Chains A and B, each alone.
Chain A
Amino acid sequence: MRPFEYARAGNVSEAGQLAGRFIAGGTNLLDLMKLEVEAPEKLVDITRLPLDKIEDTEDGGLRIGALVTNSDLAADPRIRRDYEVLSRALLAGASGQLRNKATTGGNLLQRTRCGYFYEPSQPCNKREPGSGCGAIGGFNRIHAILGTSDKCIATHPSDMAVAMQALEATVETQKTDGSTREIPLIEFHRLSGDTPEIETVLEPGELITAVRLPKSQGGNQVYRKVRDRASYAFALVSVAAVVKMDGGKIEWARLAFGGLAHKPWRNHDLEAALKGEAPSSALFDKAADILLADAKGQGENDFKIPLARRTLKAVLAQATKGA
């Protein structure tokens, strides 16, 4: 760990001006700092900021403070009642100890678990732009099959963000100049493209203050995570589904996918294809065809293509049951 300066942000507007790297739960950042994969010169501790509340919003939704822990968020009665998919996704992630420390803002910004990213002696365009990609042609079991580039095939590892994507969440931020903005989550993370080191649309020093969930639209909510052990493993494939049924037909469906891409994945064509249709095996196959049309395996992760199809079909079958 490189020696760093430490400052504690006393209030929200000051945080960005302190011009350092924010640290919240530290469950991702500290691990990376120990390996010097990350080496910020200054840490700005934001844990004392009053961003740890879950508030009702005027439009009937919720505003989740950036410092609300994953444990508290999963246990909140409003989340459990109206946004069940989010509670389930959170509880499928990490371990009890980590969830007690991990925050909503930090979870969105956690970095990939690619083994080559974690090994400083290996080439990695994300860690060291221009050095190459160790995972291409290497051990890439956990890597992406959608939206990859020849620079980086890493995935975003979050479960929480996948559920939030299906719930059409937005991210509230404050820039260093004190101005605020609200970014739809779908636009928040970027694909790797030519600059895998740039993972979100955040500007330097921009602080996440909250995540907003729109008013619950009801519907059947399912989160399914497929992984290499029963708990405490990142998703190989995960599917978050919110599906509204109407008289035996799908009124609308929102689906998001984890483990497949550099960002929590959503595909509007797929959702459009389901709209107004009666559930059937053929329809689910068609949805999977749309999702996986451009899927590309990297060798070790080829299985994710059939696995994603099967998981999606099972989730749709479950989410389209009942009214």
Chain B
Amino acid sequence: MNKHVMNEAIGETRLDRGTQGVIGKGVDRYEGKLKVSGLAPYAYEHLAGEDVAYGFVVPGAIGRGAIKSVDASKAEALPGVLAVISGDKITRASSQPMAPAAQTIDGEVFHYNQPVALVIADSFETARHASHLVKVEYEAKKGRYDITARETVREPDPMPMEPVNERGDFEKAFAAAEVQFDETYTTPSYHAAAMEPHASVAKFDGDTLTVWTSCQLLESGVGQIAAGAGIDQEKVRVHSPYIGGGFGSKLGTSPDAVLSALGAMTVGKPVKIALTRQNVFQATSRRGETIQRIRIGATRDGKIACFAHECDTTNSPGNGFFEPSGISSVFLYAGKDRRIAHNLVETDCLMTSAVRAPGEATGMLATEGALDELADRLGIDPIEFREMNEPEVNPQDDTPFSSRKLIECMDEGAKRFGWDKRPATPASRREGEWLIGYGMASASRANSLMQSSAEIEMSPDGRATVRTAMTDIGTGTYTILQQIAAEMLGLPLDQVDVELGDTALPPSSGSGGSWGANSAGSSVYVAAEAVIAQFAKRLDVEADTLTLKDGHAIAGNRQIPFSEILNGESLSVTGTIEPGDTSESTHQASYGAHFCEVAVNAVTGETRIRRLLTVGAAGRILNLKTATSQCYGGQIWGIGYALEEELVIDTRNGLLVNHDLAEYHVPVHADVPKLDVVLLEERDRYASPLAGKGIGELAIAGVGAAINNAIYNATGVRVRDYPITMDKLLAGLPDDIDAAA
């Protein structure tokens, strides 16, 4: 078995040499043409033209209670209805990432609009109408819907971090600090709102089940579907070749996956289920709302002595996942005495789970605002303040950083942005009706490597095919795997094919936590090394001395085409990457800095982003174009989180009020200015054989805070309750409206 365990730093690799010259290049997407021409089938489009049935989820009508009875007689009487499935096996919501199974309803309603039954009919329209005819009787119970009420507080699971991280004695240090900062920030619940709604198609052939679904993590997905359908995992195959965005909401399988399988079992033919946009909001998963208290003790000249970040967030009964808002506070800034702590407030709302950059996305809205506030109180430039508190090693446990270019990102950004032209005092620059302000914030995103395997098959003509059960959720995975294989093997890009999204292929890390590119990419690296070793053996040379380019192996003065080495046969090898000691011996994260100019309307408080620059450092950039696109996406999410996104919970009954895209506001084109992204050269030799780190979630971390800080600079109003909608600014805006017009 060709396996690389990341126990030590990687030395120089073929990727560093770049003989083929394709790694890092901003080449077009491997599957781009298929997607723009409509030829890339998404989950729901499979089995087009076949004899299939359609499922529609019946949403419950109360927030919490027991299901007394389900009367499906009217629905079943409707011509075209094949079955109505109710009972305990119906799934509550999506499965938690990597959980063995999704939670089932077991006769209860755990959150408003939870699935309570499934209708299957011969057309989507019939199933949808029949869903309204299913009469459910409930016995309502009092529910807990308000995080601030803290009715039930419990400890979360230690995933993805320990809920409590302490060092020294924070309380004592804080009491003694010259300057004490103590403010509380809140962030609302958010929804991933991926463009492709969650959808599945399930088909039985005998006792084997095939499910086409939109899922980020296929390995655990198979188990979740098998468990939900009550069949053997060995009998389940899952396909997810193309995914229209996941953002964490598709880490665990969504209700349609299990329900389509249950449906297909019941009606004896394939069943398709596409969640409606409303279902997606109501029955998959969401990001928990947070209350975050930040306390920082500092000296008058700006040295942070102690740092505390204490967070409340929510989840529903039986769920231990928590939004780890303090994840970057553990290591981002210096300070001897520290306390980062999380509590879970149990509520009876849709379960919360991972959404893009769990932790950083909400936590840095708070901490990076707090840093700005404290710098302002101390009269120190916010960049200088951060630089003064740059730790040399991880302040939590003194491990060295594997690589960290936070200061370089800030300095480069300041130069490019023209930070020196920032209005020195808040609310001092005005252009007609518009108040102008600049703001910045740091970004960081913890890095991780996961076990992953890939196969490379060299066909006799010298072409390579990469195969792994990895997914591409729109990030560019196909393309970077193609580039890695091409660079390693010395092949032009068009000589490399990539097959993903099928559990019959070697098991993979899947896409999540920004680990996908490094994990799956490293498995391709390992497989390629194994191919090269075979080539070297056949040519009787040391692998190191082989140069590979354009489908030829060059050894000394020999230049041999691959087809000749392969000698009419194909060659297939599998490579596996495993995390090792470097995950413990170094602290790994990607870093960045955001710079923003806003204009706030002095009359209405409407905010417009004028400029947004992100400088990032995430180790080796595998494809400049897809990496930059990831950053654009993060920036746009940051605009949404700063200004408009909020999944509104009616705390009287748990209803998610704005459960469609007309009222759950994500940024539209007019909200987004020209975006600038600069990625610094960096290699992180502890992170993976690719020397890269995660980038998919880096850019969302902190962007919203940079916007918040710019709004403060523009208006003199500090908002600690996201999103920063106009109502929160109005009272602090100037009154001379006629002069403004």
Contacts and interface: CB of A to CB of B under 8 A. Distances in A.
Count class of interface residues, chain B: 35 or more
Contacts of B652: 137-138
Interface stretch (B461-469, B470-478, B658-666): B658-666
A302 to B, nearest CB: 8
Given A2-B129, A138-B650, A139-B648, A121 B727 contact: no
B433 interface: yes
Contacts of B605: 307
B670 A314 contact: no
A233 interface: yes
Nearest to B276: A34
Contacts of A229: 643-644, 665, 667-668, 670-671
Contact of B608 (A230, A233, A313): A230
Given A314-B603, A314-B741, A303 B644 contact: no
B725 interface: yes
Find the residue from B62, B665, B731, B733 having the highest chain A CB count within 10 A. Answer: B665
B738 A317 contact: yes
Contact of A310 (B61, B604, B659, B665): B604
A87 to B, nearest CB: 18
A134 B648 CA distance: 14
Given A307-B730, A314-B433, A122 B608 contact: no
A1 B128 contact: yes
Nearest to B125: A1
Interface stretch (A10-18, A72-80, A112-120, A259-267): A112-120
Contacts of B650: 134, 138-139
B415 interface: no
Contacts, number: 106
A230 B650 CA distance: 26
Interface string B125-151: 100110010000000000000000000
B670 A113 contact: no
A306 interface: yes
Instruction: Place the interface of chain A in its size category.
Output: 35 or more
B657 interface: yes
Nearest to A310: B603
Contacts of B644: 228-229
A28 B60 CA distance: 25
Contacts of B730: 303, 306-307, 310
B627 interface: no
B668 A231 contact: yes
Contacts of B725: 228
A311 interface: yes
B641 to A, nearest CB: 13
A303 B729 CA distance: 10
Contacts of A134: 650
B363 to A, nearest CB: 24
A145 to B, nearest CB: 13
Given A35-B278, A228-B725, A314-B603, 19 more contacts: A2-B129, A34-B128, A119-B657, A137-B652, A138-B652, A229-B643, A229-B644, A230-B608, A231-B668, A231-B670, A231-B671, A236-B726, A307-B604, A310-B737, A311-B603, A313-B737, A317-B738, A317-B741, A321-B741
30 contacts: A34-B128, A113-B662, A115-B657, A115-B658, A115-B659, A115-B663, A116-B657, A119-B657, A120-B132, A121-B61, A226-B606, A228-B665, A228-B726, A229-B670, A230-B608, A230-B670, A230-B671, A231-B668, A231-B669, A231-B671, A281-B737, A281-B738, A284-B737, A306-B731, A310-B733, A310-B737, A311-B604, A315-B741, A317-B741, A318-B741
Interface of A: 1-3, 34-36, 113, 115-116, 118-122, 134, 137-139, 226-233, 236, 280-281, 284, 303, 306-307, 310-311, 313-315, 317-318, 321
